[in-house]
Structure 1
Amino acid sequence: MPDERALDDLVEAVRGTARREIMPRFRRLSPGAIATKSGPHDLVTEADLAAEAALSRDIARILPQAAVIGEERVARDPAALDELAEAELAVIVDPIDGTANFAAGLALFGLIVAVVARGETVFGLLYDPVMDDWVVARRGAGAWLEGAGRGASRLSTGGTSRMQGSTGLVPLNALGPERRAPVMARFEAAGQVQDLRCSCHDYRLLATGEADFMVSVALNPWDHAAGQLVVQEAGGWSTVGGDRPYSPLLRQGCMVAACTQRLGAEVSRVYFPDRPRLAHV
């Protein structure tokens, strides 16, 4: 586990990168500054690339022994993801989570950084560059909301234990057209279901008690490693596939996280109807 000084330096590196590389480009991107990767909705901008490069340099200075695994690096070289399982210490970077929102000029995006030691997440950071505040968790030390000019506030997930009237975050855009209606029908009892297109803010809302559950249909570690630790430290619960705990080393599966284990189990039964019970509940 890196020492407190190194982790504080990491937070400041993220803030500096956002200040220099991301916010000056927000709502100022030219059409040529936006490209696609795996498909028309999988975007990368010059801000993503510049931010990941800057953060990678900072991390090499702050934690020289760590492997740096960035989303854009893995997009160029998928084999780079193998380093996560092999490294004693790794830093996972999502330079802009919610790139589609960022490219559209929506102020709903963030930077995500996770520190993984021997396959276990020990530090997670969910940073909002628009508000210059961040949710941070260190394993065993709770989850906290901090920001420029404000004190730290300890976070706790909500106490909802039933689907009825709950608020959920479900990535409808990631589902094929033929699946959207059936999935929405399963969540009819929920009071509100929405899709933010941003894991950073999904996890922030869950950790602050503003949302009760979330679902993800992909397990990219840059989307989930930090947020999973945050939610765990805030008192929440999660499962992958309805029968496994989350690990940053997992690459495939659907994930459910919730403010309470009871609600998580109910959401899992709804989302995974072919699995009648959770093995580790």
Structure 2
Amino acid sequence: MAELDIAALANALQEAAATEILPRFRKLGDGDVRMKSEAIDLVTEADEAAEELIRQRVAEAMPDAVFIGEEAVAADPALLDKIADADLAVIVDPIDGTFNYAAGLPLFGVMLSVVSRGETVAGIIYDPMGNDWLIAEKGSGAWMCGADGSQAQVAVAPPVPLDQMVGIAALTYMETAAKRQILANLAEVRLFTSYRCSAHEYRTFAAGHLHFLMYKKLMPWDHLAGTLISQEAGAHVARLDGSPYLPHNFEGGLLLAPDRESWQELRAKVFTL
């Protein structure tokens, strides 16, 4: 694999936010927001402009990498097929939490992952509002990095009993009957919610402030960076059938917990059908 310049990639996300995302925040006109698949699946001109800037910077830093952006895939779904076999692929979500961004809520992020021969080897989640990055390279731990050069290693929360667990359950794309069952099961935990922004959900979980994350829909730009970061922070991560989550997996649901035992209890008592 070509040498990975994680700093250059992190800087690209910051530049995109500074030049394309933040200047448009709370200033979008009616024609700047469009619906994609449904009313809660939006794209803005900021998404498209940020993705193009990041694409240019990735081409400069990693010219041999296949670039796969969320908005590029919306235009050409066949791009997804390149993830499994690419020697090197960079996968980008230019604005994760577009619904929040378009609504003027300061809860959105920019995400990038690097995949080499079917394995995620690096992940970055940048928070434009806080101007900091959560970064992991495989085997090197997960780190919160500030614009002032500060670095602090992060770790998932210690395990707690089921009735004390707080977490995220994203059930939007689940069938109604399954959703009803899981919503009833979620009475067993202390609290569940959804930020409608996986970037901040992963950041909060990896930094030790949540005990579980559960997702039904698995688009790579939403989950590859966050799952690697969470694993490097000590989490147990698997699809709902217990199999590993890999970059070419687009179905099967996903569950993260602080350790294997917590994962198994959540799967058996909450996320079971």
Question: Structure 1 length as normaliser, TM-score?
Answer: 0.93
The number of aligned residues is 273
* 2:118 paired with 1:125: no
Contact 1:219 1:250 in 2 (8 A): yes
Q: For residues 242 and 236 of structure 2, what CA distance do their matches in structure 1 show? A: 13
1:38 alignment partner in structure 2: 37
How many angstroms does 1:174 deviate by?
3.7
Q: For residues 139 and 99 of structure 1, what CA distance do their matches in structure 2 show? A: 28
How many angstroms does 1:252 deviate by?
1.1
Q: For residues 135 and 3 of structure 2, what CA distance do their matches in structure 1 show? A: 15
How many angstroms does 1:181 deviate by?
3.9
Q: For residues 247 and 197 of structure 1, what CA distance do their matches in structure 2 show? A: 23
Q: For residues 176 and 247 of structure 1, what CA distance do their matches in structure 2 show? A: 24
2:250 alignment partner in structure 1: 251
1:3 alignment partner in structure 2: 3
How many angstroms does 1:151 deviate by?
1.2
Q: For residues 157 and 64 of structure 2, what CA distance do their matches in structure 1 show? A: 38
Cα 1:166–1:271 change in 2 (3 A) is closer
How many angstroms does 1:161 deviate by?
4.2
- Give SS of 1:188's match: helix
1:98 alignment partner in structure 2: 97
Q: For residues 90 and 271 of structure 1, what CA distance do their matches in structure 2 show? A: 35
How many angstroms does 1:247 deviate by?
0.6
How many angstroms does 1:179 deviate by?
4.7
Q: For residues 178 and 272 of structure 2, what CA distance do their matches in structure 1 show? A: 14
Contact 1:157 1:208 in 2 (8 A): yes
Unaligned residue ranges in structure 2 (runs of 5+): none
- Give SS of 1:73's match: helix
Unaligned residue ranges in structure 1 (runs of 5+): 275-281
Q: For residues 133 and 43 of structure 2, what CA distance do their matches in structure 1 show? A: 23
Q: Greater shift after overlay, 243-252 or 157-166? A: 157-166
Q: Which runs of 4+ in 1 moved over 3 A?
A: 1-4, 172-181
Q: For residues 157 and 2 of structure 1, what CA distance do their matches in structure 2 show? A: 31
Superposed, which structure 2 residues align to 1:1-281 within 5 Å?
1-3=1-3, 6-175=5-174, 179-274=178-273
Contact 2:91 2:112 in 1 (8 A): yes
- Give SS of 2:49's match: helix
Instruction: In structure 2, give the amino acid aligned to 1:114.
Output: S
Q: For residues 31 and 143 of structure 1, what CA distance do their matches in structure 2 show? A: 39
Deviation string 1:202-242 (CA, Å, 9 cap, x unpaired) is: 11111000111010011100011111100000000111123
Instruction: In structure 1, give the amino acid aligned to 2:69.
Output: G
Q: Percent identity?
A: 40
Q: For residues 120 and 69 of structure 2, what CA distance do their matches in structure 1 show? A: 15
